[in-house]
Structure 1
Amino acid sequence: MKWLVKKRVLLVLLLGFIGVLFLSTNWMSWFYPIHYKDDIRRHSVTYQVDPFLVAAIIRVETNYKPGRESRKGAIGLMQLMPDTAKWALEKAKLPDVSMDRLKKEPSANIELGAWYLGSLLQQFDGNRTAVIAAYNAGPGKVQSWIDEGTWDGSFDTVKDIPFGETRHYVQRVIYYYNQYTEIYGTF
């Protein structure tokens, strides 16, 4: 009987500890961490991009694991395709960033990725959903979908995106974006 009382006391103490822990901290951030916050914040401010968008794209692309290379050849945290990265490096005129650094250094990859997102935001007049689709499928493809009336570029009609991979990608990025904004509030 005494061992049962001890177990109940321990259970109550454990539940009390967990309750205090959940009430006194932002416990959801354990499940949705944002790594490289300083780099994301700095480059997002520089290129006028929502830092939560950058963080959500990184989460979907690599889950914050640097040095990744996809089967298609995309490199770094933000999984930039080599041709896109070369084009962006020419346009952005970033003297300290090279293709080798993009593969190995998270800050360089985040900088070029943020620049590219800023460029897409200008191209698509700030339409975040179209920008996310363009980041995955390419801006030319997304623009043709919009021009042809295949997709209107809104989140409400994501189901009309003709590429399943892009449709799923947009939904996942928006999901993480919403989670981050709800959990963290400000960056």
Structure 2
Amino acid sequence: MQATIAGKLWDQLEERFPLAYNDLFARYVSGKDIPQSYAMAIARQESAWNPKVRSPVGASGLMQIMPGTATHTVSMFSIPGYSGPSQLLDPETNINIGTSYLQYVYQQFGNNRIYASAAYNAGPGRVRSWQGNSAGRIDAVAFVESIPFSETRGYVKNVLSYDAYYRYFMGQQDKILSDAEWRQRY
């Protein structure tokens, strides 16, 4: 995948959006509300499928999980066997914890991928603040464009697009937003 980015091979969609760790994602989204394609889109945006990547602020692995978030998520979901941040570089552990945290923010924001994606990137508290600022007066596009952090704005757009690509490759409906997400006022 890195070669397609470096070579600017934008039309090589199957190489840019591989079904990496497909079996692990299928296992760890089973029983959760989050679509597998959405969890994979988050991982693709977070790490470009590099399981050993670490961010300058301490996030680690495929789904770029912060150590504190990992500890909180493990406790909240009673995930066994987690002993510390070094385990976040293990794809299975990372996907287990990452999909659990994604489930948490997804449910917290009414199964809305716009809000959940922004919360995964910038934190749930910030998203609640932005919701208060818009007070349900704007549509989905205006809400995304009103996100005050350019990184989070781009993040949300990428994740939604990547989700559509993954749904397409998985033989599912490949719309950017669900009907409910389009109809909702933000």
Query: TM-score band (shorter)?
Result: 0.7 to 0.9
How far is 1:59 from its partner?
Answer: 0.6
Q: Write 1 or 2 for the structure with the bigger share of helix.
A: 1
Q: Structure 1 residue 185 and structure 2 residue 171: aligned?
A: yes
User: Aligned residue for 1:162?
Assistant: 148
Deviations 1:43-64 (A, max 9, x none): 0113231100111111111111
Question: Contact conserved, 1:28 with 1:183, CA < 8 A, in 2?
Answer: no
Give secondary structure in 1 for the equivalent of 2:30: helix
Question: Contact conserved, 1:35 with 1:64, CA < 8 A, in 2?
Answer: yes
Of 116, 120, 123, which residue of structure 2 is paired with 1:135? 120
Question: Contact conserved, 1:136 with 1:166, CA < 8 A, in 2?
Answer: yes
Q: Distance in 2 between the 1:92 and 1:115 partners?
A: 7
Give unpaired runs (5+ residues) of structure 2. Answer: 1-11, 173-186
Select the structure of larger CA radius of gyration.
1
Q: Structure 1 residue 44 and structure 2 residue 25: aligned?
A: no
User: Aligned residue for 2:81?
Assistant: 96
Range 143-152 or range 102-111, more displaced: 143-152
Q: TM-score, normalised by structure 1?
A: 0.78
Q: Distance in 2 between the 1:77 and 1:153 partners?
A: 33
User: Aligned residue for 2:6?
Assistant: none
Q: Distance in 2 between the 1:71 and 1:81 partners?
A: 11
User: Aligned residue for 2:19?
Assistant: 34
Question: Contact conserved, 1:61 with 1:77, CA < 8 A, in 2?
Answer: yes
Q: Distance in 2 between the 1:35 and 1:153 partners?
A: 36
Give the letter aligned to residue 178 of structure 1.
Answer: A
User: Aligned residue for 1:22?
Assistant: none
Structure 1 segments of 4+ aligned residues over 6 angstroms from their partners: 150-153
Question: Contact conserved, 1:127 with 1:153, CA < 8 A, in 2?
Answer: no
| Distance verdict in 2 for CA 1:152–1:43, change over 3 Å | farther
Range 177-186 or range 102-111, more displaced: 177-186
Q: Distance in 2 between the 1:59 and 1:151 partners?
A: 30
Q: Distance in 2 between the 1:80 and 1:31 partners?
A: 22
| Distance verdict in 2 for CA 1:150–1:98, change over 3 Å | farther
Identity %: 36
Question: Contact conserved, 2:105 with 2:119, CA < 8 A, in 1?
Answer: yes
User: Aligned residue for 1:119?
Assistant: 104
How far is 1:81 from its partner?
Answer: 1.4
Q: Distance in 2 between the 1:75 and 1:135 partners?
A: 14
Q: Distance in 1 between the 2:15 and 2:147 partners?
A: 33
How far is 1:184 from its partner?
Answer: 2.2
User: Aligned residue for 1:62?
Assistant: 47
Give the root-mean-square deviation of aligned CA atoms: 2.0
Q: How many residues align?
A: 160
Give secondary structure in 2 for the equivalent of 1:111: helix
Give unpaired runs (5+ residues) of structure 1. Answer: 1-26
